[in-house]
Each structure stands twice: as structure tokens, then as C-alpha cells.
């Protein structure tokens, strides 16, 4: 995760007291919603509620201001908010991944295999979204993690624990140059022929960065060199912008 600056710009408008907490903060380069939530003693959910203009929690823009919840901000209005729609449902209505699978997947960062005879119950939970339903965290679980993340966001996955199953899922994206944050990317090791799947974060300079499971035995972002890996497929949920 990016480091969070400890110095913040003063809120817009005059301050009534030196002890009055700011109603908003300026987003600095490298900031993330999760980091800002920790810094200001709140949650990502509360920040999203206070900032309905944010349609993708994994994409916030440096230089813009972020409302802090409970400090003169308003909750989002409209039918989706009034009906109590989930963030994933609201995201689909807005044509974005607001509160969708990437936020869910990123929240799992650090989940890792347990050495020895014990197994991480969370990884076993990922497996239960596939037909394999393995009870072991040593069973390859990159595809299970992608299935779990998408299902939590209200999208149907492949129900398979095989990474290659994602190569024909959803809608085809024409290459990494057209990939969006959160697209599903299947790669293949040129030497071993082993497939892997994760969520697209960035690409360029002969590399692709994926957020995925079973990357060094944990959920994390990893960079893969395209001299070592082939891009098998880039896919997106059906009819998703």
C-alpha cells in the first residue's frame, strides 16, 4: 500500500476554531481510501457514503478534496441509496465498480497459507465458491480467490478452481492496452505452462501487475514479466462498462 502523508491541507473555507476537526481533506499522491480511513478514524464504507462522487474506491484523484463523514457531509441521495442498495448494486447501477470486487479483493490483502497441517479458514472459504470445494490452503487457490471476490460483489464466476476457466468467462477485452482496473487477467508461465489468474492493476514496460491470491502464497499485488509469462486472456464481467 502507498505511504500516507501525515501533513494535510486545511479544509476549504474558514475555520471557526483551531480545535475544530476539518470537514474535508485534500487527496495527496499515493493516498488510498483505506489509508485515509485509518488516518481519520473512520471506515472506507463511511468515506464512500460521504463522497457519492467516488464511483471506484480503487481510483481516487490527487488534488481533489475528500469529505470526512459526520462533519457536515451528506449521504448519497436517490432511489438506490433510499432502498438500502449495497455498494456492489449501486456500482452496477452507476456503471462502475463502486464498492465492487476490487475493493473486496483488496480487503483480503495479507491472507496467506499456514505452514504445516493447519489451513487458513479464509482460503478454504474461497475454495467453497468452486465445484472443487477443497479443504486445504495448499490446493492452488488463485481461481478460487477470483471466484470468491466476484461472487461477494454480486457477479457469477466460473465455479471452477482452474485458472484457465477464466479465459472464456465474461466479455473479451482486446489486450492489456484496453484493460481496466479490476479486469480478470489469465497468464501462463512460458517455461512450466502453469496458468495463473488475478485482477488487473497496471501494465507497461513489459510487465503486468495483478492483485491476486496464491501470489507468494498470499493475497497481494505482484508484478509479472511478459518475458516469462504470456497473456492468455483479459476478461470483464458481462455487459460491464
Per-residue model confidence (pLDDT) at position 99: 41
Domain 101-236, CATH number (from 3.90.1720, 3.10.50, 3.40.1000, 1.10.3470):
3.90.1720
Does the pLDDT value for residue 9 go beyond 50? no
Does the pLDDT value for residue 89 go beyond 70? no
Q: How many CB atoms lie within 10 A of CB 153?
A: 23
Phi-psi region of 14 (alpha: psi -120 to 50; beta: other; left: phi over 0): beta
Count how many Cα atoms sit within 13 Å of the Cα of residue 83 in the half-sphere of its side chain: 9
Distance CA 119, CA 117 (A): 7
Does the pLDDT value for residue 10 go beyond 70? no
Q: How far apart are the first and last CA of the chain?
A: 26
Mean pLDDT of the region 15-39: 71
Report the CATH number of the 24-94 domain: 3.10.350.10
Mean pLDDT of the region 91-99: 39
Mean pLDDT of the region 142-152: 96
Per-residue model confidence (pLDDT) at position 41: 81
**φ/ψ (deg, to 5) at 195:** -95, 155
Q: Which triple of cell numbers denotes residue 68?
A: 470526512
Does the pLDDT value for residue 86 go beyond 50? no
Give the residue from 213, 185, 182, 30 showing the smallest Cα distance to 98. 182
Q: How many CB atoms lie within 10 A of CB 169?
A: 23
Helix (H) or strand (E) holding 214: strand 207-215
Helix (H) or strand (E) holding 210: strand 207-215
Each domain of the chain, given as residue ranges in start order, spans 24-94, 101-236
Does the pLDDT value for residue 180 go beyond 60? yes
Amino acid at each position: 500500500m502507498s505511504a500516507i502523508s501525515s501533513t494535510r491541507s486545511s479544509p476549504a473555507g474558514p475555520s471557526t476554531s483551531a480545535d475544530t476537526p476539518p470537514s474535508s481533506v485534500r487527496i495527496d499522491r499515493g493516498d488510498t481510501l483505506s489509508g485515509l480511513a485509518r488516518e481519520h478514524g473512520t471506515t472506507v464504507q463511511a468515506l464512500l457514503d460521504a463522497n457519492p462522487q467516488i464511483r471506484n474506491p480503487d481510483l481516487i484523484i490527487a488534488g481533489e478534496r475528500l469529505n470526512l463523514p459526520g462533519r457536515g457531509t451528506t449521504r448519497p441521495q436517490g432511489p438506490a441509496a433510499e432502498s438500502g442498495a449495497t455498494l456492489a448494486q449501486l456500482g452496477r447501477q452507476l456503471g462502475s465498480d463502486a464498492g465492487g470486487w476490487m475493493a473486496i479483493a483488496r480487503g483480503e490483502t495479507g491472507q496467506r497459507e499456514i505452514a504445516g497441517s493447519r489451513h487458513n479458514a479464509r482460503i478454504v472459504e474461497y475454495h467453497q465458491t468452486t465445484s472443487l470445494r477443497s479443504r486445504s490452503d495448499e490446493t492452488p487457490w488463485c481461481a478460487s480467490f477470483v471466484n470468491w471476490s466476484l461472487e461477494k460483489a454480486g457477479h457469477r464466476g466460473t465455479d471452477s478452481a482452474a485458472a484457465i476457466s477464466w479465459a472464456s468467462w465474461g466479455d473479451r477485452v482486446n489486450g492489456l492496452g484496453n484493460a481496466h482496473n479490476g479486469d480478470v487477467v489469465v497468464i501462463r508461465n512460458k517455461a512450466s505452462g502453469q496458468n495463473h489468474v488475478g485482477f488487473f492493476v497496471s501494465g507497461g514496460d513489459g510487465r503486468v501487475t495483478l492483485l491476486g491470491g496464491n501470489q507468494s502464497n498470499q493475497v497481494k499485488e505482484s508484478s509479472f514479466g511478459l518475458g516469462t509469462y504470456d497473456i492468455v486472456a483479459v476478461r470483464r464481467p458481462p455487459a460491464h462498462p
